[in-house]
Amino acid sequence: MEVLPTITVRKYKKEDKEIWDDFIDHSKNSTFLFKRDFMDYHKDRYRDCSLMVFENNLPIAALPAHRFDNNTIASHFGLSYGGIILRKTETLHKTLQIVYKILYVLKSNNIEKIIYKSFHKFYNSIGSEEITYAKYLIKAKLTVRQFSSVINLNDKLEMNRTRLRLARRALKMGVIIKEVDSFDDYWNSVLIPNLKNKYEAKPAHTVEEITKLHKSFPKNIRQFNAYLNDSIVAGATIFETANVVRVQYNSANEEGRSSGASDLLYLELIERYFKNKNYFDFGTSFDANGLNLGLLNWKESFGARAFSIDTFEIETKNFILLEKSINCDNGKLVQNYHHH
């Protein structure tokens, strides 16, 4: 007998793009990073095996994912976060059924494990911790815990005086902050040289990739630069979503740091450009050597504080642990209570 026959799970295919994107737009725990035009820009690097979940032919959940190895999928190493995406109206009981069915189908297809990068909870406007409860029930194992430095824009801490002093210095020196449409200047003059000198690293996106993504998502991907005597000295690439502004790339050259241009740039972003958002997300402060304290102190000096970002390992065979919770009796969850 098939379990939960009304719920079907299948692999995403190219023809599903419109249904997928529409579902993402109407879900409660997603951002434009899950839209296909964003996910597919690096499909050559990540072999897609995203899943779609339907009930009576209507999409009710999605899992952006890619192959990790022969018996493991990941959600998602090409994105800042991943996880099972739910409808706005989704309830706890149905979510447990969805998780059960996803694991059951994966297990039947010889996928033993999911590496699960949890969605950042401050992006949600509606409670969506149903998955958190499901992860507890299926004994998901916490494998990585990092954190993002975030400002709650509705309840801001005071900025450090040094930040304000440097921002004032930049203003006196004539630093100008503007939003621009091209990424070339920032990528080639500031970001690439800076990452190379400091970390022997490269940006995750090439300038061609970020330009193409910006064309697909002009309202979400934005570039702000700081100029001193007409030349670029600092910049910030912003990923904007309904509730959150995330700094995807932050970089300044020597002049940008010493003149206070970088401080003025962030002061303007926080106090002026994005003052009506709920959260300002500076992202994580980890590099190859672990926690980068200098970077963290800089973010915290603007009043940002930690929100944890967790990665789990889920064994698909543990779908069995949800059986008790998904059996319904007159719409009530059946719990086996042992009375002593």
pLDDT at 41 over 60: yes
pLDDT at 35 over 90: yes
pLDDT > 90: percent of the chain = 84
pLDDT at 335 over 70: no
Give CA–CA dist 205/170, Å, rounded: 29
The residue ranges of every structural domain in the chain are 7-146+310-333, 158-302
Distances (CA, A) of 334 to 5, 76, 325, 327, 330: 20, 34, 6, 6, 9
**Per-residue pLDDT tens digits for 272-326:** 999 999 999 999 999 888 999 999 999 999 999 999 999 999 999 999 999 988 8
**Average pLDDT of the segment spanning 26-31:** 93
**Per-residue pLDDT tens digits for 232-245:** 999 999 999 999 99
**Per-residue pLDDT tens digits for 172-196:** 999 999 999 999 999 999 999 998 8
- Phi, psi dihedral angles at 291 (to 5 degrees): -70, 125
Which run of H or E residues covers position 228?
strand 221-228
**Residue 121: pLDDT band with limits 50, 70, 90:** confident
* CATH architecture entry for 7-146+310-333: 3-Layer(aba) Sandwich (3.40)
Asked if the domains at 7-146+310-333 and 158-302 fall in one CATH topology, the answer is yes
Which run of H or E residues covers position 165?
helix 161-173
Burial state string for 49-58 with b = 16 or more CB within 10 A and e = fewer than 16: bbbbbebeee
**Residue 1: pLDDT band with limits 50, 70, 90:** low
**Residue 148: pLDDT band with limits 50, 70, 90:** very high
Is the distance from CB of 115 to CB of 73 less than 8 angstroms?
A: yes
pLDDT at 330 over 60: no
Give CA–CA dist 274/245, Å, rounded: 7
Give CA–CA dist 80/85, Å, rounded: 15
- The pTM is what? 0.90
Burial state string for 260-295 with b = 16 or more CB within 10 A and e = fewer than 16: bbbbbbbbbbbeebbeebbbbbbbbbeeeeeebeeb
Q: Phi-psi region for residue 96, left (φ > 0), alpha (ψ -120 to 50) or beta? A: alpha
The 3-state secondary structure of 77-128, one letter per residue: CCCCCCCCEEECCCCHHHHHHHHHHHHHHHHHCCCCEEEEECCCHHHCCCCC
Is the distance from CB of 119 to CB of 83 less than 8 angstroms?
A: yes
**Residue 252: pLDDT band with limits 50, 70, 90:** very high
Q: What is the pLDDT of residue 5?
A: 86
Q: Which tokens go with 79?
A: 């994105």
Which run of H or E residues covers position 223?
strand 221-228
| Count of beta carbons in the 10 Å neighbourhood of residue 217 | 17
Strand 279-281 relative to strand 244-252: parallel, antiparallel, unpaired?
parallel
| Count of beta carbons in the 10 Å neighbourhood of residue 94 | 18
158-302: CATH number: 3.40.630.30
What's the chain's average pLDDT?
92
Burial state string for 167-179 with b = 16 or more CB within 10 A and e = fewer than 16: bebbeeeebebee
